[in-house]
């Protein structure tokens, strides 16, 4: 008989929500409260909660509890309100598979499905992805912005999301004009930590390479210059090489004299990310510049290649999967709770020391 008691709790819960005037995002009763009210085991209550969740009556958020969903308030098709859009600049390489895996694992655990779109860091492809997901009726969006430091033509689509009460969580960066929450590494602290490590190892002539078309590049530059000023270097900007993401390969072309001139003037280089750092390692190898004997190199992100490249790379650790999980958890919290925090989640960087930096 115990096996069938959960259906009684399901019907009771529907009446409870209606009679108490609970609305979507209101907090629902806990497992313990339901056990005490109905005098049943926790297993029976969990069966009832699972049934309520499958019927879109409640939404359970890991670590936060259960909240009223919209199943009793509207007649939307089953599954429509359980679809989350994820828009990433890239997916198949670098740190992105781990981030997306983290997002997907939390969404799956909470009964949501994921619709993934890739923009290749192009605002035109971001526009297409946003239009497709809005028309598809997603309940929320997790987005890595494209060219976040440049003017964006998709602001009207973001305004439409706001008008339709579709929550957006940015990851890695967010547009300066948006007040949507963001889950990211502390990029300014990462840039500072990378430069600080070079100074701590005795280097005084330090260069840097940063992306100019995204906010992460600007923040990492800010941290780099802060470290330089703190160590008495007042003209740090003269040793910074900027590049546009679409042109990064040309930065390391065999005829690139600007990069060679810069490397001849310094003993260490802080790179925007591991991708650039590894390209720099190859460039140095082609030009008989020994790393770390002639030049020390520091990356950011601790990608899967950082530990297996020719010279294992000293780098700043990016949370990757943990960041994806946090972004998904924050979005679900916004969907299910009217009292969800609107603040950003910023991860503190950590230094991973390997073999690409020499002490002077």
What string of DSSP letters covers 338-360? Answer: TT---S-EEEPPEEE--SS----
With a CB cutoff of 8 Å and minimum separation 6, the contacts of 27 are 65, 66, 67, 68, 337
Q: Which two tokens stand for residue 24?
A: 């979507």
Residue 5 has pLDDT above 80, yes or no: no
CATH 3.40.50.2300 in the chain is located at: 80-184+321-347, 187-319
Res. 188 pLDDT band, cuts 50 70 90: very high
Average pLDDT value for the chain: 90
| pLDDT for position 232 | 96
Query: What share of the chain has pLDDT > 90, as a percent?
Result: 65
> Where is average pLDDT lowest: 116-130, 179-193, 215-229, 251-265?
251-265
pLDDT band for position 141 (cuts 50, 70, 90): very high
Percent of the chain residues topping a pLDDT of 70: 94
Query: Is 18 buried (19+), middle (13-18) or exposed (0-12) by CB count in 10 A?
Result: exposed
The model's confidence at residue 285, banded by pLDDT at 50, 70 and 90, is: very high
Per-residue confidence band for 255, with pLDDT thresholds at 50, 70 and 90: low
How confident is the model at residue 338, as a pLDDT? 66
Structural class in CATH, domain 187-319:
alpha beta
Q: What is the pLDDT of residues 318-337, one digit of tens each?
A: 999 999 999 999 999 888 87
pLDDT band at 176 (very low <50, low <70, confident <90, very high): very high
Can you name the CATH fold of 80-184+321-347?
Rossmann fold (3.40.50)
Say yes or no: domain 2-68 is CATH 1.10.10.10.
Answer: yes
Taking alpha carbons only, the member of 119, 113, 296, 281 closest to residue 197 is: 296
Residue 104: the pLDDT is: 93
Nearest Cα to Cα of residue 69 among 31, 23, 110: 23
Hey, which residues does 66 pair with through a beta bridge? 60
Residues of the chain within CATH 1.10.10.10 domain(s) are 2-68
**For range 41-62, the mean pLDDT:** 83
H runs (alpha helix) in the chain: 5-19, 31-38, 42-54, 96-109, 123-135, 155-163, 187-200, 215-230, 257-265, 274-286, 321-336
The residue ranking higher by pLDDT, 12 or 282, is 282
pLDDT in tens, 72-98: 654 334 444 588 999 999 987 899 999
In this prediction, residue 230 carries a pLDDT of 97
For residues 257 and 188, give the distance between their C-alpha atoms in angstroms, rounded to a whole number: 29
pLDDT band per the 50, 70, 90 thresholds, residue 110: confident
């Amino acid at each position: 008989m115990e096996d069938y008691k959960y259906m009684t709790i399901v019907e009771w819960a529907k009446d409870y929500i209606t009679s108490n005037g609970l609305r979507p995002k209101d907090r629902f009763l806990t497992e313990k409260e339901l056990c005490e009210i109905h005098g049943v085991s926790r297993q029976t209550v969990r069966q009832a909660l699972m049934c309520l969740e499958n019927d879109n009556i409640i939404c359970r958020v890991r670590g936060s509890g259960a909240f009223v969903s919209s199943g009793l308030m509207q007649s939307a098709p089953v599954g429509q309100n359980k679809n989350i859009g994820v828009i990433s600049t890239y997916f198949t390489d670098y740190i992105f598979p781990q981030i997306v895996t983290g997002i997907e694992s939390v969404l799956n655990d909470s009964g949501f499905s994921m619709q993934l779109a890739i923009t290749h860091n192009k605002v035109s492809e971001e526009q297409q992805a946003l239009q497709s997901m809005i028309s598809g009726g997603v309940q929320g969006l997790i987005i890595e912005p494209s060219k976040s430091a440049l003017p964006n033509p998709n602001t009207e689509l973001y305004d439409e999301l706001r008008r339709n009460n579709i929550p957006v969580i940015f990851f890695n960066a967010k547009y300066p004009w948006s007040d949507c929450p963001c889950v990211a590494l502390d990029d300014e602290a990462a840039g500072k930590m990378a430069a600080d490590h070079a100074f701590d190892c005795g280097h005084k002539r330090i260069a840097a390479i940063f992306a100019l078309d995204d906010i992460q590049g600007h923040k990492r530059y800010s941290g780099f210059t802060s470290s330089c000023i703190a160590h008495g270097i007042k003209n740090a900007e003269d040793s910074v090489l900027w590049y546009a993401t679409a042109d990064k390969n040309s930065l390391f072309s065999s005829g690139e004299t600007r990069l060679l001139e810069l490397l001849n003037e310094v003993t260490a280089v802080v790179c925007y990310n591991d991708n650039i750092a590894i390209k720099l390692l190859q460039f140095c190898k082609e030009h008989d510049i020994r790393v770390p004997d002639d030049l020390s190199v520091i990356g950011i992100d601790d990608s899967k290649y950082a530990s297996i490249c020719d010279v294992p790379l000293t780098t700043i650790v990016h949370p990757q999967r943990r960041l994806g999980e946090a972004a998904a958890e924050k979005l679900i919290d916004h969907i299910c709770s009217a009292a969800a925090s609107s603040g950003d989640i910023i991860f503190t960087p950590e230094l991973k020391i390997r073999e690409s930096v020499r002490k002077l």
